[in-house]
Structure 1
């Protein structure tokens, strides 16, 4: 059975795309590369959820936080202590291991337990420790490397991680987790409406430019294609047939783009292990798009290519004697172009004030509103470019005159060149405004004072807490770049043991250390003080009475044998409390080392506040090393006056990661688009050179042809982006404010990308200006 006329027309278009000579192949290749770049980014985007899920699954498989535990040592028990650290800006995941039986659970990625003084490291940490940059870290992690952690034990190929064997965990006994397996069954808290909104907007703002570029790519070589279709009309094809032929040609180019896009995606996937963006890395196998999403991309791209082609031909009259587009076209009307952004605002307006207490946002309504607003840019920009360039005079330099005339003749092509970057900039501006507006809600003041202490080292409870803390502080104090290490030990005070109704805090330290938590007019070893103005004064008022007999240490529970009887001296003075470097305003009793109760056992808890000399290079690294050398079980915290929500930071990191990929796509696609437009003007450029036009004049003219649409497109993007940002801020009930510096930086990045592409297109332009370009067959 022979195919029908419609199928024959589509197949003819496919043959034109695949066997149309050098011109046909060039157009198909350019279309395929443009579409392929967009498809590759779409596939990467659809693979992100699976990559994040795989990272979370591996993190849960090695977690001990909610793992099954045991009270006593057994054949299947493992002592595991946290030993996380940081090296410059990178986190290092570390665990200390001591198996207590032959069936102790082995962490994922290990084939055997490292012995005492040995460690297994991740490949990235192994490379860092062997490099010159890792010299300071080698001093800290100086155990002998005996194994490399397998992929199943790492959340990403670039993760810095290690497992070290340490027999000292036996001494801590029940102070570190004793697990019989690994698991993390804790349910994550659901995202609040504002964070959900941020995630939606990140995906929409990043994917919209991709869709615009794909729509632009399928229109490469449109003028040559229309002239070919006019020749078909001359030999008897009707108007409907030529449109079906054009649709078949576009479909072939888009399918070729799908193939190239799959190839680009596989290349990116294969090299993913070597890419570390914003300290995030994924294994190649984790980039696995959901099958239904991949099928959706495979169906949507050819369908969109056909739709865009037919839409582009709606205003073109293809007749046997030519294409009626070289005549003066009718002016574009602005009325219908305002409908998409107005419809977008109409969808978003009802959600103003929602979120958190106001309820959930309608996800589809948000997506629809933002998409319509950004689509409004692509609708308004051609009208804006035409309206402006039609009013530009013909005066000025030759390069300016050539640029203006070219823009007046093909303002639509000029607008398409910057459509994608305008959409990207508008989305980035809106997102930046929203992030800045809600940042305060996800940022809290910790009360810490980093000028008084850069690091706080938390010492786990153990025997002779006070004496051990002082020894640790002296060891840290000797490290290079450390100006002072201040040790404070704390324990409980009560009038009874077992189940006291009221307790107060007893803080022990030297006079210099106690001055970190109180205003002491005078102090000598042997003094005691009662704090006034602390955060929890109730217990101190009832218990801390000079001359009273008290119990210190293990005052809770049934095991109170270690509780120490202690009398608060009658000469105890009252002093005003002050916030410690961590921002806590303590209450209770202060005791110098000479006056403190003895033999408190393992009930004490302690901390060391570490001040650094900013003039010493890598002082913080030397301090981290000193903390780990003093006791691997010590957990150091970097004091900051503010702290941001981890989820908020993760979403912002995802935005930066996605924006980097989109910028790469923008640059590559713009370069392909620019080369396609120059190729279409090859004969014209060669003719101008043959008539004596200087190449420098033509080069400047091309730059002007790029600069004018850029200025108009970015101006429109600023207006739409700021408007969308204002609507989004009102939706989350955040104060409306515009950071013009950030807006200008976003706009400048967009302009810089386009101008860089224009500069990169100059060498091909110079080659196209040769007289050989006038040759024809």
Structure 2
């Protein structure tokens, strides 16, 4: 039977060969995309499993290394900086280095080395003393875009820094990102959202010309063939196409692989050698896809199993009933109403909301055939002409089959729209629609003391002598406006609470002559020379909260005589900049005061601080947009396969219609309508459900801050573009209809 099946698949005419090629092409597209997702997931897993040598924090009084790790900023990107001194020649070495740098040398990552060559020294290079001895290898980097530098020092020089610790071992454990589980869930969600349309595509391919095959298999049954033999023949046909497609999908993945290395999927690129599925990913794909194709083919032959004459007993199935919509409506009610009424309760106990969301997704799939039937009835009622009548009659005759082709798309668009609508809502909850007046203002905090691990809770402030030198250097930078904030003398030596350097002490002192240089700070009371302002909101990473608190200086701000001239400590420094070059020059000057800057901070503008918080949401938005585009493309391919199979199955009635005078244009429009209508209807309904689900989630995350939540325009453009591409793919299949229904080829049997 296997040989018979192979013979029928390869040598039973152009129709069988075309079906085999279409099946193989459809499976190749699905396998290629699925392998690409698995490859990116493997790259992510490999990246987060790398040793976090930057996390080294263990101390050893007899250790061979003096270690001082800190972070810097350049152009909105973080620079990992390690200042190190070797006390013994046999000490450990940072991964990716041939040896620790000697005093006066440093190693830089390839990306940082390229920046150093392209950037003026006063903006970047002057921060790193010495000469470059080489570059850091991939073993010590998370991404080829990482900015990392390891600088060698003399032991006596580094030992004087309060940030330095002595260690005997470099950490080899992974970083342990708090977002690891989130990203793994995101990859799994993306794989599922892509897998469902792919399975639909493969199912449509294996069902292509199913009616004609059923007639052939029924004839074999009539001459004595058994069910088991029919199953073997059908399985061979499906598995052969799927196996060829799986091998073609591996080739497609090989062609796509160079492009994957250029995709900053999570805000950074992966190393090329990590972008590959595991061996089990390849094996599982090659085995699972043909198996799924065989199962889909066997399911499609259920009428042949009834009896040899089962194929001829074709009746219109009963129409879907309204009850199919009830699970969807119940799920939406159970999900939205509690979150809208009590958002905080839903945020604290999300278990019930998760169950309701599962009911929504399940109800959407159950309601699909009924929604397809209703759209067909609306098409028949509100349009005129033979094309719309034919399309509506076809959809109403079997709405389940029409919905099957877009079922995977419906679920993917619903999930994608929910996430795409939540991202702007999350950004809106932390930022305002207007630009913050302090967005381009850099803030840096200082501390005093030689504690082993300075940080929150230490005494903030820079001594007057150092402060005067720093202010003089900043004043020489064109475009930089410095506003010093001084520590009140009465609490200048008191230990502060750990929840913020200004908590509970009444604020900081600022000269009015300095404050007016940054109007966003506010205006001093008339006649005041200096005021004490409560600037605790400066330490938030939420620009919305910062903007709502401005101005810091108000009419009721207490006037003070402490204006810094009495030897007060410099607590913080605000520097307004007129452009990126000025900002980097200020950071270069501040790099000379690393020992005086809080190690838990980086000199960043308020806008950069807000951007760091928003980066995760923007990454999600990018992933959702890409996933939506790919899903729609796959759905378009699935519909193209479905329409090709439908044309082959209806060759005879369409030919008879041509003979009786029906124009080919009428048939084109009818086929296009019956294919595009479920696609557009499914997308619209799924998008509406997604927005409905997103609104109560946004309310739960930030009560009272959201009205209607809508996806980012880029997502809407991607979905619209995907629909247009899908329609173009479907339209490309229509010329086949004209050729196979030509009147000169009409046969009467």
Q: TM-score, normalised by structure 2?
A: 0.72
Output one character per residue of 1:106-164: Cα deviation in whole Å (capped at 9) or x when no partner. Answer: 3221223446665433334445556xxx5468942366544222111111233333334
2:721 maps to which residue?
A: 752
2:454 maps to which residue?
A: none
1:611 maps to which residue?
A: 576
What displacement does 1:469 show? 3.0
Which range is displaced more, 305-314 or 403-412?
A: 403-412
Question: Does the CA contact (< 8 Å) of 1:355 and 1:361 recur in 2?
Answer: no
Output one character per residue of 1:439-470: Cα deviation in whole Å (capped at 9) or x when no partner. Answer: 788x499xx96438621134565997333333
1:455 and 2:447 correspond? no
2:739 and 2:494 map into 1 onto residues whose CA distance is 97
1:532 and 1:663 map into 2 onto residues whose CA distance is 51
1:591 and 2:591 correspond? no
1:551 maps to which residue?
A: none
What displacement does 1:15 show? 5.7
Aligned with residue 34 of structure 1, among 26, 29, 40? 26
Question: Does the CA contact (< 8 Å) of 2:5 and 2:233 recur in 1?
Answer: yes
Structure 1 residues 186 and 449, CA, compared in 2 at 3 Å: closer, same or farther?
farther
Question: Does the CA contact (< 8 Å) of 2:484 and 2:573 recur in 1?
Answer: yes
What displacement does 1:490 show? 3.9
Output one character per residue of 1:486-516: Cα deviation in whole Å (capped at 9) or x when no partner. Answer: 233548756999999x996896776634776
1:175 and 2:165 correspond? no
Output one character per residue of 1:659-697: Cα deviation in whole Å (capped at 9) or x when no partner. Answer: 414522431552364266347648799999999999988
After superposition, residues 360-399 of structure 1 pair within 5 angstroms as 361=351, 365=355, 368-369=358-359, 371-376=361-366, 378-389=368-379, 391=381, 394-395=384-385
Question: Does the CA contact (< 8 Å) of 1:140 and 1:629 recur in 2?
Answer: no
1:67 and 2:38 correspond? no
Count of residues paired in the alignment = 692
Output one character per residue of 1:369-398: Cα deviation in whole Å (capped at 9) or x when no partner. Answer: 3552343355445434544445565527xx
Partner SS, residue 80 of structure 1: strand
What displacement does 1:274 show? 3.2
1:391 and 1:317 map into 2 onto residues whose CA distance is 39
1:469 maps to which residue?
A: 467
1:249 maps to which residue?
A: 237
What displacement does 1:38 show? 3.5
5+ unaligned residues in a row in structure 2: which ranges?
Answer: 450-460, 498-502, 538-548
More strand by share: 1
Question: Does the CA contact (< 8 Å) of 1:714 and 1:747 recur in 2?
Answer: no
5+ unaligned residues in a row in structure 1: which ranges?
Answer: 1-7, 537-577, 598-603, 614-618
Partner SS, residue 161 of structure 2: helix
2:540 maps to which residue?
A: none
1:220 maps to which residue?
A: 205
Question: Does the CA contact (< 8 Å) of 2:111 and 2:147 recur in 1?
Answer: yes
Structure 1 residues 607 and 453, CA, compared in 2 at 3 Å: closer, same or farther?
farther
What displacement does 1:654 show? 4.0
Question: Does the CA contact (< 8 Å) of 1:687 and 1:771 recur in 2?
Answer: no
1:711 maps to which residue?
A: 680
After superposition, residues 288-327 of structure 1 pair within 5 angstroms as 301-302=289-290, 304-314=292-302, 324=312
Question: Does the CA contact (< 8 Å) of 1:51 and 1:282 recur in 2?
Answer: yes
Structure 1 residues 138 and 631, CA, compared in 2 at 3 Å: closer, same or farther?
closer
Structure 1 residues 758 and 202, CA, compared in 2 at 3 Å: closer, same or farther?
same
More helix by share: 2
Structure 1 residues 151 and 169, CA, compared in 2 at 3 Å: closer, same or farther?
farther
After superposition, residues 155-170 of structure 1 pair within 5 angstroms as 155-165=142-152, 170=157
Partner SS, residue 268 of structure 2: coil
- RMSD over aligned Cα, in angstroms? 5.5
Aligned with residue 277 of structure 1, among 258, 265, 273? 265
Partner SS, residue 631 of structure 1: helix
Aligned with residue 48 of structure 2, among 51, 56, 60? 56
Output one character per residue of 1:145-195: Cα deviation in whole Å (capped at 9) or x when no partner. Answer: 44222111111233333334567992782322334243387996978xxx9
What displacement does 1:215 show? 2.3
2:523 and 2:159 map into 1 onto residues whose CA distance is 32
Aligned with residue 689 of structure 2, among 702, 714, 720? 720
What displacement does 1:97 show? 4.2
2:414 maps to which residue?
A: 426
Which range is displaced more, 762-771 or 273-282?
A: 762-771
Partner SS, residue 282 of structure 1: coil
Which range is displaced more, 252-261 or 173-182?
A: 252-261
Structure 1 residues 222 and 186, CA, compared in 2 at 3 Å: closer, same or farther?
closer
What displacement does 1:609 show? 1.1
Structure 1 residues 413 and 169, CA, compared in 2 at 3 Å: closer, same or farther?
farther
What displacement does 1:753 show? 0.6
Q: TM-score, normalised by structure 1?
A: 0.70
After superposition, residues 467-506 of structure 1 pair within 5 angstroms as 467-482=465-480, 484-490=481-487, 493=490
Structure 1 residues 183 and 731, CA, compared in 2 at 3 Å: closer, same or farther?
same
After superposition, residues 67-106 of structure 1 pair within 5 angstroms as 67-69=57-59, 76-87=64-75, 89-106=76-93
What displacement does 1:419 show? 3.5
1:112 maps to which residue?
A: 99
What displacement does 1:765 show? 5.1
1:36 and 1:595 map into 2 onto residues whose CA distance is 76
1:140 maps to which residue?
A: 124
Structure 1 residues 54 and 660, CA, compared in 2 at 3 Å: closer, same or farther?
same
What displacement does 1:220 show? 2.0
2:688 and 2:111 map into 1 onto residues whose CA distance is 45
Which range is displaced more, 244-253 or 689-698?
A: 689-698
Question: Does the CA contact (< 8 Å) of 2:462 and 2:571 recur in 1?
Answer: no
2:122 and 2:609 map into 1 onto residues whose CA distance is 31
2:122 and 2:303 map into 1 onto residues whose CA distance is 69
Output one character per residue of 1:285-318: Cα deviation in whole Å (capped at 9) or x when no partner. Answer: 5456678887776666455444444444457899
Question: Does the CA contact (< 8 Å) of 1:78 and 1:98 recur in 2?
Answer: yes
Which range is displaced more, 635-644 or 585-594?
A: 585-594
What displacement does 1:251 show? 3.9
Output one character per residue of 1:33-53: Cα deviation in whole Å (capped at 9) or x when no partner. Answer: 433444454455556665444
